[in-house]
């Protein structure tokens, strides 16, 4: 077990987060329950901002809302002075509802609908990352019509794909995102955007090489590739990019073995890679944008579950089933993601037995954790799964018609419900009433 942020084991030998006893939280708010350490989220936002201000003052941090975005989170991000990256009309709407300043919002997406683009233009979002030639054509049409002139970046595929422990570099990346480095469309798009200056304000380029990345080398490579590209653009078209957005991707600790670089080291390293690439290409320092998602919220989240059925399969394994699973955390089933957990009501006790944590979905793949060592587990125990702050609530669903859990921000001994638990009534809210049918 490793504890992050404000987590600790209290005098009752229970897990505490934000000064709140998790056993009491579960009793009061029910399970499954997402508990988010507000202090840690804020601290991560500040660490990013401070690190960038120190190493690259001409920079800005945009929180990637896809990791976890609800109204309260958007408001927090705004209070902490970060910008926000959104990828859909729904995320944009959430941000606006939270009073997020539109000029601090950046819109992404590989297949933005006309409505989404119009919505962004009408709100006056600060930046649109254009993903394809046809999107650019549509945007030109819409900006002409609405007489808005959005700032745009073009998303580039730098041919580098990074994951936790490795990365690959290919000349031509096979991905649905962005413009290929050498594609004809890329050059056509740059020329068209420059030509249609009164409709769009092309400022530079964007790339995102992956997520849950532990190594700095692929970022360094991406910086080098992007500067090479920007230098080529300058040479061929005379356009000097003034903004470079390097996306997100810094990994977090899901398990004790995970050792990502710190936020400070990551930012410092990227900043110096950008500075040296600029010198190497004799390029003026661009504004540097980063879009971290997971590394801001991931470790701040814990999911609490109530243990139900315990099943021993002799010689095979012992299953402890909990009252949630793939509906509230799809990551183990989808990516074979590995999580750590403790019994929150027995957090001070020695782990002695190996168990598998099963979810409650009618799906044999709904195993939250294949192997975890716990104190003797009993029905009614409270299981706390760590590092569920990113891509869990955001990817949650209602499979088997299970209502989605509530989300709490906890801080200084107080719990604030930022998303209430869904009810059965919520589940049928969109269903149309059954038509009365006459008997024949
Ligand atoms: N910017 C762009 C353009 C992105 O596509 C992403 C993530 C981010 C920023 C934020 O990346 P982060 O800092 O969170 O790594 N559902 C997957 C992760 C998908 C990430 C998609 N893009 C998971 O649960 O692991």
Q: What is the whole-number distance in angstroms between the Cα of residue 346 and the centre of ligand 1?
A: 34
- Token digits for 175? 């991905």
pLDDT beyond 60 at 305: yes
Separation of first and last alpha carbons in the chain: 65
The protein residue whose alpha carbon is closest to atom 1 in ligand 1 is 247
Mutate to test the pocket of ligand 1, among 45, 244, 291, 333 (most ligand atoms within 8 A of CB): 291
pLDDT digits (tens, 9 = 90+) for 342-371: 999 999 999 999 999 999 999 999 999 999
Measure the CA–CA gap between 368 and 374, rounded to whole angstroms: 14
Query: What share of the chain in percent tops pLDDT 90?
Result: 94
pLDDT beyond 80 at 168: no
Q: What is the whole-number distance in angstroms between the Cα of residue 211 and the centre of ligand 1?
A: 5
What mean pLDDT is predicted for residues 315-341?
97
pLDDT beyond 80 at 178: yes
DSSP state of 213: B
Per-residue confidence (pLDDT) for residue 98, from 0 to 100: 98
Indicate if ligand 1 lies below 6 Å from the C-beta of 155. no
The catalytic position among 20, 106, 207, 362 is 362
- Token digits for 159? 């041919």
Indicate if ligand 1 lies below 6 Å from the C-beta of 49. no
Q: What is the whole-number distance in angstroms between the Cα of residue 332 and the centre of ligand 1?
A: 16
Per-residue confidence (pLDDT) for residue 440, from 0 to 100: 58
Per-residue confidence (pLDDT) for residue 434, from 0 to 100: 86
What percent of the chain is helix, strand and coil (3-state, nearest 5)?
A: 35, 25, 40
362 included as an active-site residue: yes
Phi-psi region of 71 (alpha: psi -120 to 50; beta: other; left: phi over 0): alpha
Q: Which domains are delineated in the chain? A: 8-37+299-428 (2.40.37.10), 108-292 (3.20.20.10)
pLDDT digits (tens, 9 = 90+) for 369-388: 999 999 999 999 999 999 99
Cα 175 from chain centroid (whole Å): 19
Indicate if ligand 1 lies below 6 Å from the C-beta of 211. yes
Confidence of residue 164 (pLDDT cuts 50, 70, 90): confident
pLDDT digits (tens, 9 = 90+) for 36-63: 999 999 999 999 999 999 999 999 999 9
Q: What is the whole-number distance in angstroms between the Cα of residue 210 and the centre of ligand 1?
A: 7
pLDDT beyond 80 at 117: yes
Mutate to test the pocket of ligand 1, among 129, 211, 390 (most ligand atoms within 8 A of CB): 211
Task: Specify the range with the lowest mean pLDDT, choosing from 138-142, 150-154, 435-439.
Answer: 435-439
Q: List Cβ neighbours of 184 (8 Å cut-off, separation of 6 or more).
A: none
Which of these, 227, 292, 264, lies nearest to 53 by C-alpha position? Answer: 264
Tell me if residue 118 falls in helix, strand or coil: helix
Rounded mean pLDDT of the chain?
96
Indicate if ligand 1 lies below 6 Å from the C-beta of 245. no
Q: What is the whole-number distance in angstroms between the Cα of residue 248 and the centre of ligand 1?
A: 6
Q: What are phi and psi of 222, to 5 degrees?
A: -60, -40
Mutate to test the pocket of ligand 1, among 247, 254, 337, 338 (most ligand atoms within 8 A of CB): 247
Measure the CA–CA gap between 39 and 209, rounded to whole angstroms: 29
Q: List Cβ neighbours of 59 (8 Å cut-off, separation of 6 or more).
A: 52, 53, 271, 287, 288, 289, 290
The protein residue whose alpha carbon is closest to atom 6 in ligand 1 is 248
Indicate if ligand 1 lies below 6 Å from the C-beta of 64. yes
Per-residue confidence (pLDDT) for residue 161, from 0 to 100: 83
Q: Are 202 and 193 in contact (CB under 8 A)?
A: yes
Per-residue confidence (pLDDT) for residue 2, from 0 to 100: 81
pLDDT beyond 90 at 282: yes
Between the CA of residue 36 and those of 14, 43, 362, what are the distances in Å? 17, 13, 28
Between the CA of residue 332 and those of 206, 328, 386, 391, what are the distances in Å? 30, 11, 13, 11
């Amino acid at each position: 077990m490793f504890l992050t942020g404000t987590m600790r084991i209290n005098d009752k030998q229970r897990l505490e987060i934000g000064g709140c006893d998790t056993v009491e939280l579960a009793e009061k708010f029910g399970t499954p329950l997402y508990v988010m350490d507000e202090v840690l989220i804020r601290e991560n936002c500040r660490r990013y901002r401070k690190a960038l201000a120190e190493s690259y003052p001409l920079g800005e941090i945009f929180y990637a809302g896809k990791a976890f975005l609800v109204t309260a989170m958007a408001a927090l991000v705004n209070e902490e002075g970060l910008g926000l990256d959104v990828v859909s009309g729904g995320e944009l709407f959430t941000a606006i509802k939270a009073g997020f300043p539109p000029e601090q919002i950046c819109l992404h997406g590989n297949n933005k609908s006309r409505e989404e683009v119009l919505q962004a233009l009408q709100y006056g979002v600060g930046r649109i990352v254009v993903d394809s030639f046809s999107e650019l054509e549509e945007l030109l049409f819409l900006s002409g019509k609405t007489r808005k002139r959005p700032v745009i970046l073009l998303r580039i595929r730098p041919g580098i794909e990074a994951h936790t422990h490795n990365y690959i570099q290919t000349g031509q990346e096979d991905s649905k995102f962005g413009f290929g480095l050498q594609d004809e469309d890329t050059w056509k798009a740059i020329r068209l955007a420059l030509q249609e200056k009164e409709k769009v304000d092309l400022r530079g380029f964007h790339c995102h090489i992956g997520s849950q990345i532990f190594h700095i080398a692929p970022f360094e490579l991406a910086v080098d590739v992007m500067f090479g590209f920007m230098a080529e653009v300058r040479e061929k078209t005379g356009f000097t990019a003034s903004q470079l957005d390097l996306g997100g991707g810094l990994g977090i600790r899901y398990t004790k073995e995970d050792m990502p670089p710190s936020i400070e080291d990551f930012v410092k390293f990227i900043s110096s890679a950008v500075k040296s690439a600029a010198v190497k290409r004799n390029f003026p320092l661009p504004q540097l944008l980063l879009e971290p998602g997971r590394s801001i919220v991931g470790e701040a989240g814990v999911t609490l579950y109530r243990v139900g059925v315990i099943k021993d399969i002799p010689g095979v394994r012992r299953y402890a089933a909990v009252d949630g699973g793939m509906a509230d955390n799809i990551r183990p089933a989808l990516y074979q993601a590995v999580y750590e957990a403790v019994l929150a009501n027995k957090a001070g006790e020695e782990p002695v037995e190996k168990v598998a944590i099963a979810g409650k979905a009618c799906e044999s793949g709904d195993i939250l954790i294949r192997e975890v060592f716990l104190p003797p587990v009993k029905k009614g125990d409270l299981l706390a799964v760590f590092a569920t702050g990113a891509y869990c609530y955001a990817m949650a669903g209602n499979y088997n018609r299970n209502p989605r859990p509530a989300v709490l921000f906890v801080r200084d001994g107080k719990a604030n419900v930022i998303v209430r638990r869904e009810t059965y009534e919520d589940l049928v809210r969109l269903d149309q009433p059954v038509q009365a049918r006459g008997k024949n």
